[in-house]
Structure 1
């Protein structure tokens, strides 16, 4: 007797993915970021990558770090390699309060929740606050990793204008009122106030109390993401938003930029009621953050001059920022514009009208230089005339060479635009070549 298998309707619709009809609706928001799509190309040794924001850990005293880890295994190995608390190691949480004190935050260790990098903290906060269709306010542009989280939870992102001093208060007030007038629910404002990723700007001291006042008046929670706050070049750390609004701000921090990203240790500082929800969400997601990583970071903080190490990182990144700005000034066409960041990892570059950064990327990769198109940092398709350049990882010499290659590509695109008089993306699509899709990379 022969039994014929019924035809799977999902398989009949997708040879590549037979489960396509079984996924939850929210998976439609799970897409690869444009930065991740670049990694395979940007990691080639012949390509100068001005794309990724990888911290430069060459200045870390690896012998000291290795010794601390060796001592940890020898003296506390059975504890370090065991399950831990969903909230995090108490000693590390206490040390985190000392780190935040540098930005004016007075906090208790009980209100700190350790996470697997600050990326997980963004995910946990979104999970406990947002239902599908809720609105999250974000700067324009905004961090691609956060935009991916919001999309995966089916949130609607509304961008708020920035300028050279950061988030524009009038634009924030108008945006909030427009969303409310449409009967929509705003769950929080997501902001990176210091050395913004990707825009490289810093929210001015004058605007900070005004932004907080607007959010307080309108009942909008603030999610302050601050991985770069201690990496300023020309001044002491600015006062955190959380320092002046303990109940209206959830603060996110990370050791990825000030120590090493491989340990994946970040944290959230939240009001007590929110903290409890975060711990529950953490326990359901991972049971507990990795005990070993936390204790290794704690040992580093206890036994090494971590503030002196941060000072060395600041000098290293300042040197690379200067190399980037010098190369841009010397080599770029006069119609190209960029900002001069006073900390962090990134420069935001704006191309002349008609030049499409995403459409130009395949030509740039062919010229052995990589960047991230501005469209990666918007939820609404904007940013095609901009790009993010990262100076944190390459040497100054490689930065200059990368800018030289990029300038040549831009000049070629400008000539193409001048000849045909239309957007370069339309030219490429019309000709059927150099498609802006990531699969061309």
Structure 2
């Protein structure tokens, strides 16, 4: 029997089918979000989600900050606020950005609901249907979904262990110009990149800025992980070394360095762009929550928050080390991976002929979850890759999960060698070699 594909059937499932705006067709489920139900099962070791470990926060202190806020400023915190954000928090944000070399004033900061809302607002004010956005390959999955929702065309530029390749970026801009679809934005996560874990080198940073400036392309620098460098001082932001404040929009967030559930992020933008972001924010939410903004601001002003970031760094460093050690011990030959100097993620590449997306059901049956690499490419490429997150599970669970994953990959290799690869996929993204194995 053929499936019922009649209009009557569709109207029963969704009576508004055919009435949605064209841009709704670009709204697709994130492969990361789709894994949450499976990864949340207690027997599954989740190497999938990039959830910060808020258990490391001094929760009693945070509770006291919240209580004091309500007692002292409750009538302000529980009222409507400004779409640009609380002025005192914007001042504190400038102090945070200064740690990465950024000099800025609070008037050019817009507070948002996480940096994700800032990205959505940027897409809203800059992108018309058919416009081109250039991103790294791979890139942050929700950025892909955001740009697609505004009907933009995404063009990728390759990464290696030192970040995006400036020559390839320049060639891409030139090709798009010749094709009559010049790039409007270059979206980048230059420091401890999501998903690859790599960092744009100090040598390449001015080169990338120069390439974008010559091409007249606005840089959107998404930097949620910048303060989570495991050794040494934070890496200087691209925005810190831009020739003009008009060249870069900087996105930041407290989700990784304080509490994701408060949903407080920001955009630092040129004045004219900032004004449009405020108008876009007003139409979206009227105003951000004054309560969560004041809570973050009071925490920054009254608590040793830089010491807390050191606690996070040490915790995540221990978990990064546990993952790299387990990968070395349990991965079959020809599996390679990156070695991040900060952030949350390792990017692994499977041997030729293996498909990370096709392998995922067998991995979850073996009680381990990861994110297939194809979710981080607009064209579905990257099937030979997987993102492994080490931020949430404790070290012993990371080791257990990697061991399970290594067993699954070993079984896949045996099947490949016996029956051949059904869908061989080229490895994509940075290709940092794993250790030599016997």
**Residue 26 of structure 2 is aligned with which of 18, 21, 29?**
29
Q: Using the alignment, how far apart are the partners of 2:7 and 2:246 within structure 1?
A: 48
Q: Using the alignment, how far apart are the partners of 2:338 and 2:199 within structure 1?
A: 11
Q: Using the alignment, how far apart are the partners of 2:219 and 2:112 within structure 1?
A: 19
* SS of 1:259 mapped into structure 2: helix
Q: Match for residue 4 of structure 1?
A: none
Contact 1:250 1:269 in 2 (8 A): yes
Q: Match for residue 112 of structure 1?
A: 109
Q: Using the alignment, how far apart are the partners of 1:13 and 1:373 within structure 2?
A: 31
- 1:77-100 per-position Cα deviation (integer Å, ceiling 9, x unaligned): 111000000100000000000000
Q: Match for residue 286 of structure 2?
A: 287
Aligned pair count reads 418
Shift of 1:423: 2.9
2:107 pairs with 1:123:
no
Q: Using the alignment, how far apart are the partners of 2:261 and 2:235 within structure 1?
A: 27
Q: Using the alignment, how far apart are the partners of 2:33 and 2:236 within structure 1?
A: 33
Instruction: Call closer, same or farther: CA 1:162–1:72 in 2, change over 3 Å.
Output: same
Contact 2:196 2:345 in 1 (8 A): yes
Contact 1:356 1:423 in 2 (8 A): no
**Which runs of 5 or more residues in structure 1 are unaligned?**
1-8, 427-441
Q: Match for residue 437 of structure 1?
A: none
* SS of 2:393 mapped into structure 1: coil
2:268 pairs with 1:251:
no
Contact 2:337 2:347 in 1 (8 A): yes
Contact 2:113 2:263 in 1 (8 A): yes
Contact 1:11 1:17 in 2 (8 A): no
What TM-score do the two structures reach when normalised by structure 1?
0.94
Matches within 5 A, 1:278-427: 278-423=277-422
Q: Using the alignment, how far apart are the partners of 2:98 and 2:135 within structure 1?
A: 26
Contact 1:10 1:19 in 2 (8 A): no
* SS of 1:15 mapped into structure 2: helix
Q: Match for residue 82 of structure 1?
A: 79
**Residue 148 of structure 1 is aligned with which of 145, 150, 155?**
145
Q: Using the alignment, how far apart are the partners of 1:12 and 1:318 within structure 2?
A: 53
Shift of 1:252: 0.2
What TM-score do the two structures reach when normalised by structure 2?
0.94
Q: Which runs of 4+ in 1 moved over 6 A?
A: none
Q: Match for residue 435 of structure 2?
A: none
Contact 1:224 1:250 in 2 (8 A): yes
* SS of 2:257 mapped into structure 1: coil
**Which runs of 5 or more residues in structure 2 are unaligned?**
1-5, 426-438
Shift of 1:58: 1.6
Instruction: Call closer, same or farther: CA 1:260–1:366 in 2, change over 3 Å.
Output: same
- 1:233-280 per-position Cα deviation (integer Å, ceiling 9, x unaligned): 112111111112221000000000000100000000000000000000
Q: Match for residue 171 of structure 2?
A: 174
Q: Using the alignment, how far apart are the partners of 2:113 and 2:372 within structure 1?
A: 27
Matches within 5 A, 1:21-60: 21-60=18-57
* SS of 1:137 mapped into structure 2: strand
Q: Match for residue 94 of structure 1?
A: 91
Shift of 1:15: 2.8
CA RMSD of aligned residues (A): 1.1
After the TM superposition, which of the residue ranges 242-251 and 162-171 deviates more from structure 2? 242-251
**Residue 224 of structure 2 is aligned with which of 227, 230, 233?**
227
**Residue 13 of structure 1 is aligned with which of 5, 10, 14?**
10
Matches within 5 A, 1:190-205: 190-205=187-202
Shift of 1:420: 1.0
